[in-house]
Amino acid sequence: MTEETVGATCQATLKASTRITSSSTDEVRELVLSVDEPAFRALAGQNIGVLVPGPHPFGNPFHHRYYSVVSAQPSGEGTDIEILVRRCSYIDEISGEEYPGIASQFLCDAAPGKQITLTGPYKAPFRVPADKSSNLLMIGTGTGIAPFRSLIRSVYATHGGWQGKVRLFYGAKSGLDNLYMNDQNNDLANYYDEATFEAYQAISPYSYADVAETLGKSLSQNGAKTWVLMQMPNTYVYLAGLQKQVAVLDRVMSELAGSTANWQALKSRLQAEGRWAELTY
């Protein structure tokens, strides 16, 4: 892979790196990247790419990895972009050996002041409807749901006086992995007192492969009211996180709708009316 194959790039400076989980659990860091390039305008809910310099396996000079933008705030003539990074590793299916994730190690080990090459931004950001009586149904898994932090903050802190129902279903491998209920940065708790807000946490004690299924069970357990909300003409649906959850959601909603055809008809209407937003990986 070369820089030419991933499109235009720009340089960012790591402004801050803060661990937001305790030392007793998986390391998740909040990184703030300072971008001075006026043409690079990322928004919360979009993806940006990080190019990790090599050499890498198979002769690749770069390793390309996508991250969701949690927030993007003006800073002088540039922009401060916040992303969340979980230090991860993977198991080789053949040898059984564990290898560190290339991009996550690079970013978690980076010190403030380091130059980082970005690509993108990609995909449309999550936007808050203009009508404050709109219902918002957010469904996400793992660290990929980070954009919901900005979305919920915008609903209650920026817009204020929200009248529609705001529902968040989120699945995680552990209680800390969801990036809201962590010891040092309990964002979600700030909104529990809001009369219109409810959150449903689905925790899988096993692998990430089980997270989407666990989330599906939570949706089923709250199926009646979820299905009613989904059918309302002023409801907006947001999906973020693991791609596997899309198939799980389709299965659960098909059961609630009485048939796959009924669910696909409603899903198509939501998409056609601009009330369906998806950011999965």
pLDDT 10s digits, 253-278: 898 899 999 999 999 999 999 999 88
Rama region for 240: left / alpha / beta (φ>0; ψ in -120 to 50; rest): beta
Model pLDDT, residue 51: 93
Model pLDDT, residue 280: 76
Model pLDDT, residue 135: 95
Query: Which residues neighbour 179 within 8 Å (Cβ) at sequence distance 6 or greater?
Result: 20, 28, 84, 143, 145, 146, 149, 185, 187
Angle between helices 244-257 and 260-272 (to 10 degrees): 120
| pTM (whole model) above 0.75 | no
Residues in the chain where the model's pLDDT stays below 50:
1-4, 174-185, 204-209
Query: Which residues neighbour 33 within 8 Å (Cβ) at sequence distance 6 or greater?
Result: 12, 13, 14, 15, 80, 81, 82, 83, 116, 118
Please state, in angstroms and rounded to a whole number, the distance separating the CA atoms of residues 241 and 109: 24
Please state, in angstroms and rounded to a whole number, the distance separating the CA atoms of residues 127 and 254: 27
